[in-house]
Amino acid sequence: MASEWDRILAGGMLGQSDEVAQDRIRGQALLRQLNSIPAGDEAQRQALCRELFGHCPDSCWISTPFTCEFGRNIHIGEKTFFNFNVTILDVNEVHIGSHVLLAPNVQIYTATHSLDYRSRRRWESFGKPVHIGDDCWIGGGVIICPGVSIGPRSVIGAGAVVTRDIPADSLAVGNPARVIRQLTAQDPRDERLFQVE
């Protein structure tokens, strides 16, 4: 029999079932603990990340403060780095690849609402998954909207609002974000791309 989360992750309405309510309470309690750990206590930080997230290898670093809703729907690859003040609303799944750099104040949203005000009056919401491929660099203050996929090795310039999928090996900037060129192995290693890390 399908669980409440199976229904939600398949695109169903976010309900207020006991399962969802308890997962939110659990996630917020673990998040509070994570945000209170001293930076030097790596073992405790890693243990809490393993408990909070759906998947988070010990090779990752999650700078605090960090904010999420549930934690359980966030899946992170190897050697990925979150800088300060990253926010992830994980009503649906967020898959972040390996060797990804998230700069300060990156916001990743899976939660969305109806355009019909009557639905919003009832606080109805649902989620669309977000995928970020391996080796991406997401610049400071970037907002990634529900349902977006960013291909491997892409760079998103600081302050961009990503409303549509970004292909692999792309440099995208602006609001809404648009691809301004493809990245190649010949790009200079020290090129400045208007990023904040």
144-154 confidence digits (pLDDT tens): 999 999 999 99
Within 8 A by CB and 6+ apart from 120, the residues are 113, 114
Report pLDDT for 191.
59
Report pLDDT for 40.
87
Report pLDDT for 113.
93
Helix (H, G, I), strand (E, B) or coil at 88: strand
- Whose structure tokens read 């009832």? 122
Measured CA to CA, the distance from residue 35 to residue 65 in angstroms comes to 5
Name 161's bridge partners.
143
Q: Which residue from 33, 156, 35, 133 is spatially nearest to 76, judged by alpha carbons? A: 133
Positions of the chain with pLDDT under 50 = 194-197
Q: Which residue from 88, 58, 59 is spatially nearest to 71, judged by alpha carbons? A: 88
Report pLDDT for 197.
41
Q: Active-site residue numbers?
A: 113
Report pLDDT for 196.
43
Peptide bond into 188 cis (omega under 30): no
Report pLDDT for 96.
98
Report pLDDT for 35.
97
